[in-house]
Structure 1
Amino acid sequence: MRAEELLPDHLNQGEFNGVPVRKGTVGAFLANARIWRDASATEEARATAQRDIIDALPALRALGLFDVLEIRDDELRAFVDAQ
């Protein structure tokens, strides 16, 4: 399946397993995970990334992301699992 088959270009969000998911949610999670893991990131940047990760988890779980992919970073995986 191609991305545009899952969410056509003219749509910015779709509903998956009853949860609205915005286009870019997975990419935003990856960007926030990088910031969250970055020891040189400011406390404010890390807190914002953490908040955004938490907010995205229902959508990511509705997509089944963590059923297929495992977070390799132990600390991040434990954080996500605890939410």
Structure 2
Amino acid sequence: MRAEDLLPDHLDQGQFNGIAVRKGTVGAFLINARRLADPGGSEEQRRLAEHDIVEALPALRALGLFEILQVRDEHLRGLCEGH
């Protein structure tokens, strides 16, 4: 399956397991995970990244992301499992 088969260009979101998931959710999660782990980032950047990750968790779970992939970063894994 290709990305456009899952969510065609003319759609910005889809329903997955009863949850509306916006296009770009997984990409935003990856960017926020990098920001959270960046030792050179500011505390404010890490706080915002953590907030955005927590908000995205229902959508990521609806997609089944954590059933397939294991989060290796200890802090991020704890954040994902704790919310």
TM-score range (shorter-chain normalised) is: over 0.9
What is the percent sequence identity of the aligned residues?
61
Gaps of 5+ in 2: none
* Structure-1-length-normalised TM-score: 0.97
* Structure-2-length-normalised TM-score: 0.97
Pairs within 5 Å for 1:1-83: 1-83=1-83
Counterpart Cα distance in 2 of 1:67 and 1:9: 26
Write the deviation string for residues 40-69 of structure 1: whole angstroms up to 9, x where unpaired: 110111110000000000000000000000
Q: How many residues align?
A: 83
Counterpart Cα distance in 2 of 1:58 and 1:31: 17
Counterpart Cα distance in 2 of 1:80 and 1:21: 17
Q: Which amino acid counterpart does residue 68 of structure 2 have in structure 1?
A: V
Q: Which moved more, 1:2-11 or 1:73-82?
A: 73-82
